[in-house]
Amino acid sequence: MSRLPVSASKRALSSSSSENGQDFGPAQKKICKDRETVKPRAAATIVGGRRPAVGPTKAPISRPVRAGGAATVAVGPSRGKMSVGGATKRQPWDLKGKVSDMEGKVRNFQTKIKSVNQENEVLKDTVVQSHTKVVEMEKTLARQRNQISEYEKELQALLGVRDKLEKVSGDKSLLEKELSNLEGKYKVMETLRDSQETELQTLKMKLSVQESALARLQTTLTNTEEEVSRLKDTVVQQKDELHAGEMERRRLHNTIQELKGNIRVFCRVRPLVEGGLSKHIQLPASDNKTITLAKTEESHTGKTSDTQKNYNFNFDRVFGPQASQHEVFEEISLLVQSALDGYNVCCFAYGQTGSGKTYTMEGSEYDDYRGVIPRAVKQIFRAAEKLGAQGWEFTFTASFVEIYNETLRDLLFTGKASKRPEHEIRKSTNNEVTITNLTYQKVSSEDQVLGLIMLANQNRSTAQTAQNDRSSRSHSVFQLDIEGVNVGRDVKCKSTLCLVDLAGSERMLKSQSQGERFKEMTAINGSLSNLGIVISALANKVCKETYLGKEEPDSFGETLNSLRFASKVSCIHVCFNVPS
Ligand code: ADP
Ligand code: MG
């Protein structure tokens, strides 16, 4: 439907209706008002015609508006009409009829105009509505666009969320795996926990048992502590008693030693190389203090029979050829104990070369054959250790000197032979004798002392090779300085144990001794006779005897001499060695 023909017909309609001044209802009124200025036309002849009821009938918008046409106008039959082939034709004279036709046509047109106007109004409304709708639609569209952009934004956000979701679901699957792992572990842990709980229960039971045991023990402990404190008091008391007892023991022991004789002489008879005892020597089985030297003397005249001359000697103890190192030391050990008690003890081995002096003093390295020096040291160290429990602390210093031709030689010297120093004997203000430049070695074990004996032997053998059989013509002196202190009791002791292996006591024929030998002989004889004098003086005995004037180079004579010397110094701490 086109709008243009509608407005054209509207114009035509307006002019005619205003001319007639007819009331066409509100719609028409409005149109008329708009068109007041339009001049009336000549066609205003339609007044008085029958007209259909015109009202504000509303044609449906959808109804098509037909263009006006005569063909559709129905006009009632009238006079003067001629019907030609269905069409009615007025007679030229029939003006009235023609007017009536015209009026009918006008009415038709008016009707059409009305309906068209109505349609037009309806359309206007529709247009307005449509405009409104369009505006609304545009608004809606804008809203929807906005919404779409919002949706797009949301979509973007959702895409982000989707990514996140994917990531999260990836994480989730990982976590799920982890979870299943953890669940597995958890189960293991549960099993473990169960077993531990069982164990815990067992332990709790044990603990309760232990606790009750502990309670019992605590009671016992309290009792024991009381007992201990009582015992401590007793120990203190007993320590005091022990100390007093130890001091008493020392006093008694040393009184006994004094009563036995401060100077004691033991005689040891060496076995023959082939074993056994020499025919000159007789050792009475009943007695271990006597020795008899027997000699058969031929008759000078030959008329009388040979006579046997016996020389009897008594000693503190006589050891036969079977006596072991241990047996010999047993006698000496009492004096060694005195050394630890603070008494000076000196032990000499006297006798001719080969009589067993060095064997007795040093012995060999095998345990059973060890001599007096290692045994004495061992005893001292052991006793010192025991006294340690009573608060005694000891220090031991060893020295080893060789005296040859009245000169001293350090047997513990370890430096170069060319740097060997000279020594002098010095006496300090408190009567202590020291030797200058001598090695004083601190010792604390038997092994250390054995090492020193070995070192001394090395030093001796060096001198030995330079000078044949030198050791038999020199004295060697082992000295152990003992210092003890008992701090708790404020007691001190200081003593010296001196073990001397003297030079061979054999005498040489003066006529055969020349040069060095004569010098040695003089030195040895001088020192030994001085020793005899000193020992005798110590024993408070004036020595009136002299050596036999007659010199005898044989073994018998030497033995006799030794025994006489020993008798002279009677009761020395001497282990007297005589060859069989
Ligand atoms: P000295 O030192 O008096 O010159 P030795 O001690 O060197 O004498 O002894 C000389 C030899 O006699 C050594 O071979 C030694 O082993 C041996 N001897 C000494 N006394 C005994 C003894 N009581 N038992 C066994 N052998 C001994
Ligand atoms: Mg010797």
User: How high is the pLDDT of residue 191?
Assistant: 92
352 annotated to bind ligand? yes
At 434 the pLDDT is 86
Cα separation, 145 vs 156, in Å, equals 16
Amino acid at 229: S
pLDDT at 198: 93
User: CA 424 from chain center: how many Å?
Assistant: 57
Q: Is 356 annotated as a binding residue?
A: yes
For residue 377, what are the contacts with CB-CB under 8 A and spacing of at least 6? 443, 446, 449, 480
* Phi, psi for 161 (deg, rounded to 5): -60, -40
504 annotated binding-site participant: no
DSSP 537: H
In order along the chain (580 residues), what is the average pLDDT of each group of 10 residues?
41 41 44 44 41 45 44 48 62 86 88 86 84 84 86 87 88 90 91 91 92 92 92 88 85 78 83 84 86 77 72 89 93 86 86 89 90 93 90 94 88 92 87 88 91 90 68 86 92 90 72 67 74 64 30 58 61 46
Residues whose Cβ atom is located within 5 A of ion ligand 2: 357-358
Give the pLDDT of residue 194: 92
Ligand 1 nearest-atom number relative to CA 355: 3
User: Is 271 a pocket residue for ligand 1 (Cβ < 6 Å)?
Assistant: yes
CA angle 27, 32, 35 (to 5 degrees): 135
Cα–Cα distance measured from residue 472 to residue 423, given in angstroms and rounded to the nearest whole number: 21
The protein residue with its alpha carbon nearest to ligand 1, atom 18, reads 356
Q: Which helix (H) or strand (E) holds 238?
A: helix 95-260
Residue bearing the CA closest to ligand 1, atom 12: 356
Contact 355 CB / ligand 1 (< 6 Å): yes
Q: Of 335, 337, 359, which is closest to residue 346 (Cα–Cα)?
A: 335
Q: Is 358 annotated as a binding residue?
A: yes
Atom of ligand 1 nearest to the CA of 270: 23
User: Tokens 């969320």 map to which residue?
Assistant: 161
For a pocket test of ligand 1, which of 359, 469, 578 has the largest count of ligand atoms closer than 8 A to its C-beta? 359
Q: How buried is residue 530: exposed, middle or buried, by Cβ count under 10 Å (0-12/13-18/19+)?
A: exposed
355 is in an annotated binding site: yes
Would you say the CB of residue 354 lies under 6 angstroms from ligand 1? yes
pLDDT at residue 58 in the model: 46
Among protein residues, the one with the nearest Cα to ligand 1's atom 23 is 270
Residues in the chain: 580
Q: Are 332 and 575 in contact (CB under 8 A)?
A: yes
Closest ligand 1 atom to 364 CA: 16
Q: Does ligand 1 lie within 6 Å of residue 358's CB atom?
A: yes
Q: Which ligand is nearest to the CA of 352?
A: 1
pLDDT of residue 299: 63
User: H helices within 369-445, ranges in order?
Assistant: 372-388
> Has 357 been labeled as part of a binding site?
yes
Q: Which ligand has the minimum distance to the alpha carbon of residue 457?
A: 2
Check pocket membership of 107 for ligand 1, CB cut-off 6 A.
no
Q: Which ligand 1 atom is at minimum distance from the Cα of 352?
A: 3
Q: Is the CB of 457 under 6 A from ligand 1?
A: no
Give the contacts of 27 (CB within 8 A, at least 6 positions apart): 56, 114, 117, 118, 121
Nearest-10 crossing angle of helices 3-20, 25-34? 90
Cα(274) to centroid(ligand 2), Å: 20
Task: Report the distance separating Cα 296 and Cα 153, nearest Å.
Answer: 150
* DSSP helix/strand/coil, 491: strand
Cβ of 352 closer than 6 Å to ligand 1, yes or no, is: no
Q: Which residue among 266, 268, 269, 270 is best mutated to probe the pocket of ligand 1, counting the most ligand atoms within 8 A of its Cβ? A: 270
- The torsion angles phi and psi of 489, rounded to 5 degrees, stand at -100, -5
41 in helix, strand or coil?
A: coil
Paired strand residues for 388: none
CA 362–ligand 2 middle distance (angstroms): 9
Does 97 belong to an annotated binding site?
A: no
Q: List, in order, residues 6 or more apart from 317 with CB less than 8 Å away.
A: 264, 266, 267, 288, 289, 331
CA of 406 to the centre of ligand 2 (A): 18
Q: What is the pLDDT of residue 235?
A: 87
